[in-house]
Amino acid sequence: MAGFLIKRILQAAFVIVAVTLVVAFAVRLTGDPALMLSQGAGSITEEDLARIREALGVNKPFLVQYTDFFLGIFTLDFGRSFLGGTPVIDLIGNALPATLMLAFASMFVSIAVSIPLGIKAAVSRGKWADQFIRIISLIGLSFPNFWLAIMLVLLFSITLQWLPPSGMDGFASFLMPAITMGIILTATNVRLVRTSMLETMQSQYIMVARAKGLSESTVLYKHALRNCAIPLITYFGLQFGGLLGGIVVVERVFNWPGLGTLAFDAVGARDYPVLQAVITVLSMLIVGVNLLVDIAYGLIDPRIRTE
C-alpha cells in the first residue's frame, strides 16, 4: 500500500510541477505588464518602462522568475498583484472560499435534484415518467449556462425582485448561481443515478429484500440506494474538479468574488502573479481530489493497488 501511495503522490506532484511551468510560461506570452500599467500615460519613455519592469520583477530571466514563483508555493507566498501590489495570497484567501462555497452549493443542488429524479426514472423504466425525465435532463444538458443565468436574473431579480442579481451576500445570493451551475450537472447525474439504480435493482439481495415482504420504499432507499452510493460518491467527487473549471463564466455573470473572477480580471490586466497563482491553486485542488479518489479506490479494491 505504501508503494502505491508514493507512486500516486509522485505522479500528482509531477502534474503540478508541469502545470506551474506551462502556466508561468504561458502568462508571459500575454504581453508586457509595464505597458499595460502605463496605458493611460501619454509621455511614457523607455526609461519609465524599464523602471516599472524592475519594480515588478519582470526584467529578470524567466527561470529566475519561475523558481521564485515555484518556491513561493511552499511558503504560500505567491508574490504581489501587479495591479496595486496586494499580496496574492490575500486575494486567493478571499476568493477561494467564495468559489468553494459556490461549488459545494451547486453540487448540493445537483445531488438533491438528481437522486430523487434518477430513482423515479429507474423505477418507472420505460414508462412516461422515465421518458419525461430523460427529455428534461436532455434539455438541461443543452442549456448554455450563461443564457440560463441571464434568464434567471431577468425573472427573479428584475421582474419579481425576489433575489439579488449579483454579488455574494447571504443565503439568497447563492440560489441563482448554484442553480445555474447545478442544473448542468443534474442533467448528467440523473442519467447516472438511473443506470446505477437499475443495475442494483437486479441484484439478488434486492430480490431477497422484496421476498422478505419489505415495503417498496424501504427496498429503494435502504437497500438499493445505499449500495449504489459508492460509485456515485466517487463520480460526484471527480465532478467537483470539473465544476471548478467551469465556474469562470457563472462567476462573471453573477459578479461572484471567486477565483474565476480573479482569473478573468488578471488576464485582462496581465497580472502574472495572480493568474499563475489562481491556476496553480485550481490545479492543486483538482489533482488533490483525484488523488483522494485514487487512494479511496485502492483502499476498497486491492486489485487496483497492485496494478
Partner 1 sequence: MIKQGMRTALMALALAGGMMASAPAHAEGTLTVSSPQDPGSWDPVDTFLVNWASVATNIYDGLTYRGPDTKLVPGLATSWEVLDDGLRIRFALREGVTFHNGEPFNADAVKFTFDRLMGEEGKKGPQRSNYAAIDNVEVIDDYTVDMHLTQPDPVLLTKLAGYGAMIVPPKYIAENGEDYFNAHPVGTGPFKFVSYEPKVGIKLEAYDGFWGDQAKISDLEYRFISEPSTAVAELQAGRVDLVIPPTIPIGMIPTIEEDPNIQVVTTASPTVYALRFNTANGITKDERVRKAMIYGVDRKAIIDAVLGGQASEIVSFQGELSFGYDPSLEPLPYDPNKAKELLAEAGVAPGANVQINIRGNDSTFNEVAQAVASYLQIIGLNATIKPYETNVLLNDIIPQGKTGEMFQQSWGGWTLDFDNTAYFMYHTGEKWNPYDSDPKMDELLESQRAITDQAKREEILREIANYAADRALEMPLYNLNAIFGLSNRVKNFTPVPDSRLRLNEVSVD
Interacting residues toward partner 1 by CB under 8 A: 30-32, 35-45, 48, 51-52, 55, 81, 83-86, 90-91, 94-95, 150, 153-154, 157-158, 161, 164-168, 252-255, 257, 261-262, 264-265, 268, 270
Shortest Cβ 135–partner 1 spacing (Å) = 30
Shortest Cβ 89–partner 1 spacing (Å) = 12
Shortest Cβ 119–partner 1 spacing (Å) = 37
Q: How far apart are CA 192 and CA 235, in angstroms?
A: 9
Is the Cβ of residue 102 or residue 168 nearer to partner 1 in the bound state? Answer: 168
Helix (H, G, I), strand (E, B) or coil at 80: strand
The answer to whether the beta carbons of residues 280 and 20 sit under 8 Å apart is yes
Distance of CA 19 to the CA centre of its chain: 17
Helix (H, G, I), strand (E, B) or coil at 22: helix
Shortest Cβ 93–partner 1 spacing (Å) = 10
Proportion of the chain in helix, strand, coil states, percent, rounded to 5: 80, 0, 20
Is the Cβ of residue 10 or residue 172 nearer to partner 1 in the bound state? Answer: 172
The answer to whether the beta carbons of residues 259 and 281 sit under 8 Å apart is yes
Is the Cβ of residue 49 or residue 129 nearer to partner 1 in the bound state? Answer: 49
The answer to whether the beta carbons of residues 261 and 155 sit under 8 Å apart is no
Residues in the chain: 307
Which residues neighbour 211 within 8 Å (Cβ) at sequence distance 6 or greater? Answer: none
Shortest Cβ 154–partner 1 spacing (Å) = 8
| 265, amino acid identity | D
Is the Cβ of residue 77 or residue 265 nearer to partner 1 in the bound state? Answer: 265
Give which of 197, 198, 185 is closest to 137, Cα–Cα: 185
Shortest Cβ 23–partner 1 spacing (Å) = 19
Q: How far apart are CA 38 and CA 69, in angstroms?
A: 24
Q: How far apart are the first and last CA of the chain?
A: 11
C-alpha cell of residue 111: 445531488
Number of neighbours of residue 298 by Cβ within 10 angstroms: 18
Shortest Cβ 277–partner 1 spacing (Å) = 14
